[in-house]
Amino acid sequence: MRLVPPTDSLYLWAESQRSPAHVISLQIFEPPPDAGPELLDEMYAAMTDRDAVKPAFRRRPYRSAATAGQYAWAYDEDIDLALHVRRVALPRPGRIRELLEHVGDFHATLLARDRPLWQAHLVEGLADGRFALCTKMHHASFDGVNMARHVLGGLSPDPGARGCAAPWITPSRPGRPATPAATRRPTVTAIGKGALRVADQLGGTVKALAGAGVSSVRDGGPTLPFSAPHTILNNRVGSARRFAGDSWPIARLVDVARATGTSLNDVALTMCAGALRAYLIERDALPGSSLVAMVPVSLSSTDPSASARDGNSWAAVLCNLGTDIPDGLTRLRGIHCSMRRGKRLMSELDPVTATALSGAVLGGVLPNTLPGPLPPRPAFNLVISNVPAVAKPLYLNGCALTDAYPISVVTDGQALNITLVSYRDRLSFGITGCHRSVPHLQRLLVHLEDALRDLEDARPGS
């Protein structure tokens, strides 16, 4: 066993029955025209090859006196894939609606702590002949970038390639992996060193927060935690989830970014801000001050083809979304400046301090896990993340990946999450919300299109 790093263990400590800390990758595949009835049988057999499971997918959390009450990773030699991989048939008529309802139900259930923190459903029965793979992974194990690397790493750009693999299967099939030395039982010395690392991180956090406070009093300082207003998105959540998703041509967003001197990510954030403003106006719930989003920014390479790593390595940048501003173009410029200030702050910190500061920002949601009323002001209103994918078409043993959506974390005080992922020439928006706190979630998709169209109409030279 080895200790779970502090930033990763936050997801374990904060998790509850109503607030699972896992993410689902929804991938929809189209079989080749010559596929036979045995296709999914063969695919399921390959997905349940116990000897080929990656080491990262054999870890389970563990606490004991030997770990001084901290979470550690144990290594499951005899993983039972019957508990992790299931075949599921959609009810008729097998529309995307039925698939998304299944995904919502799948997301609402916690991952069992007595086995590795992942589960998958191979879903058949879509009316158009396609099938889906839903892979649920705990955020304590991977950040979004590395989840994407596992999810996409077993696919191939060659439609004729065979031997492709599910996210938890080693594509090269080298045989049963050996137990890593890092999974041995932690010693008192290791626990002591871990405590010293935590102390160092806390020291860096205090220094970084002080620097941020000084910067904030100057013109153009970064957005700080607890500057967000309370909204209907920041109430207690139930266990039921609702998911909506759609995609837009990346070229449309790039055209706006070029015309305004901003970035693709700025335009995507402005689409989200405009959609949230319109949605809250519909609910007669728009606050007078702007919503604040926490935008994770990777501290390592975002290359989706790089080797996947364990754990989380990202910085929390707070972005003022300008939802109090009626004009979309003005809102875009404000978001561009807010993100630039936040990234500049993180760039001035070493990775350890940036991670510790981000942990402090995330720690602002921990009071939400306690019984009683929520704090009067949230640390931030929601998370909006952008996970890079690939521009080329990908295939799973000849089956074309047609759609890819992320279904992310919703917690008490954070009833809505928007996660973006780019694939081929389109940018997909995956919207996850509490069934009770965020009614009529699909309306956000309409408002996303309206927000983009407003930016296109208002851009210089249009």
Does residue 223 share a domain with residue 93? Answer: no
Task: Dump pLDDT digits (tens) for 94-121.
Answer: 999 999 999 999 999 999 999 999 999 9
Q: Which residue has the higher pLDDT, 359 or 174?
A: 359
CA 266 to chain centre: 18
Select from 188, 204, 239 the last residue of a domain. Answer: 188
> Considering the domain boundaries, does residue 255 fall inside one?
yes
According to DSSP, the residues that pair with 29 across neighbouring strands are: 131, 401
Euclidean distance between CA atoms 320 and 293, whole angstroms: 7
Range of the domain at 227: 217-389+408-458
> Look-up: residue for tokens 């160092």?
200
Confidence of residue 211 (pLDDT cuts 50, 70, 90): low
Euclidean distance between CA atoms 396 and 159, whole angstroms: 8
> Considering the domain boundaries, does residue 262 fall inside one?
yes
Euclidean distance between CA atoms 310 and 58, whole angstroms: 12
In the DSSP assignment, the letter for residue 37 is T
pLDDT at 410 over 50: yes
In the DSSP assignment, the letter for residue 106 is H
What pLDDT sits at residue 351? Answer: 66
Does residue 122 share a domain with residue 222? Answer: no
CB 135 within 8 A of CB 127: no
> Considering the domain boundaries, does residue 120 fall inside one?
yes
Structure tokens at 52: 């080929």
State how far the alpha carbon of 3 is from the alpha carbons of 48, 210, 307, in Å.
28, 29, 22
pTM of the model: 0.85
Q: What percent of the chain has pLDDT over 70?
A: 84
User: Quick one: 438 exposed, middle or buried, by C-beta within 10 A (0-12, 13-18, 19+)?
Assistant: buried
- Reference 315, options 303, 302, 333, 331; nearest CA is 302
What pLDDT sits at residue 321? Answer: 98
pLDDT at 358 over 70: no
pLDDT at 312 over 90: no
What pLDDT sits at residue 308? Answer: 83
What pLDDT sits at residue 221? Answer: 64
What pLDDT sits at residue 207? Answer: 53
> Considering the domain boundaries, does residue 194 fall inside one?
no
Residue 248 phi/psi, 5° resolution? -130, 150
pLDDT at 184 over 80: no
CB 455 within 8 A of CB 328: yes
According to DSSP, the residues that pair with 30 across neighbouring strands are: 400
Does residue 222 share a domain with residue 115? Answer: no
Which stretch of 67-71, 104-108, 197-201, 224-228 has the lowest confidence by average pLDDT? 197-201
In the DSSP assignment, the letter for residue 111 is P
DSSP string, 154-175: T-BS-TT------TTB-TT--S
Which amino acid is it at 376?
A: P
Mean pLDDT computed over 360-379:
73
What pLDDT sits at residue 111? Answer: 97
Rg (the chain; Cα; Å): 22
Does residue 435 share a domain with residue 335? Answer: yes
What pLDDT sits at residue 179? Answer: 34
Q: Which of 171-180, 185-194, 238-247 has the highest mean pLDDT?
A: 238-247
> Considering the domain boundaries, does residue 159 fall inside one?
yes
What pLDDT sits at residue 181? Answer: 35
What pLDDT sits at residue 376? Answer: 76
State how far the alpha carbon of 188 is from the alpha carbons of 72, 73, 194, 195, 323, in Å.
13, 16, 10, 11, 51
Q: Which residue has the higher pLDDT, 202 or 150?
A: 150
What pLDDT sits at residue 194? Answer: 44
What pLDDT sits at residue 196? Answer: 45
What pLDDT sits at residue 175? Answer: 35
Mean pLDDT computed over 386-397:
90
> Considering the domain boundaries, does residue 201 fall inside one?
no
By annotation, the residues acting in catalysis are: 139
> Considering the domain boundaries, does residue 268 fall inside one?
yes
Does residue 178 share a domain with residue 94? Answer: yes
Does residue 113 share a domain with residue 227? Answer: no
> Considering the domain boundaries, does residue 197 fall inside one?
no
Task: Dump pLDDT digits (tens) for 24-68.
Answer: 999 999 999 999 989 999 999 999 999 999 999 999 999 999 999
Task: Dump pLDDT digits (tens) for 120-169.
Answer: 999 999 999 999 999 999 999 999 889 999 999 999 999 999 999 999 99
Does residue 261 share a domain with residue 350? Answer: yes
CA-CA-CA-CA torsion sign (316, 135, 153, 32) = negative
Does residue 283 share a domain with residue 172? Answer: no
Task: Write the CATH number for 55.
Answer: 3.30.559
What pLDDT sits at residue 387? Answer: 86
Task: Write the CATH number for 418.
Answer: 3.30.559.30
Euclidean distance between CA atoms 363 and 294, whole angstroms: 12
Select from 135, 167, 188 the last residue of a domain. Answer: 188
Does residue 97 share a domain with residue 146? Answer: yes
State the total domains in the chain: 2
Cβ within 8 Å of residue 201, ≥6 positions away:
6, 352, 353, 355, 356, 359
Does residue 129 share a domain with residue 22? Answer: yes
Question: How far from each other are the two terminal CA atoms of the chain, in whole angstroms?
Answer: 59
Does residue 221 share a domain with residue 183? Answer: no
Euclidean distance between CA atoms 315 and 298, whole angstroms: 6
What pLDDT sits at residue 74? Answer: 95
Does residue 133 share a domain with residue 82? Answer: yes
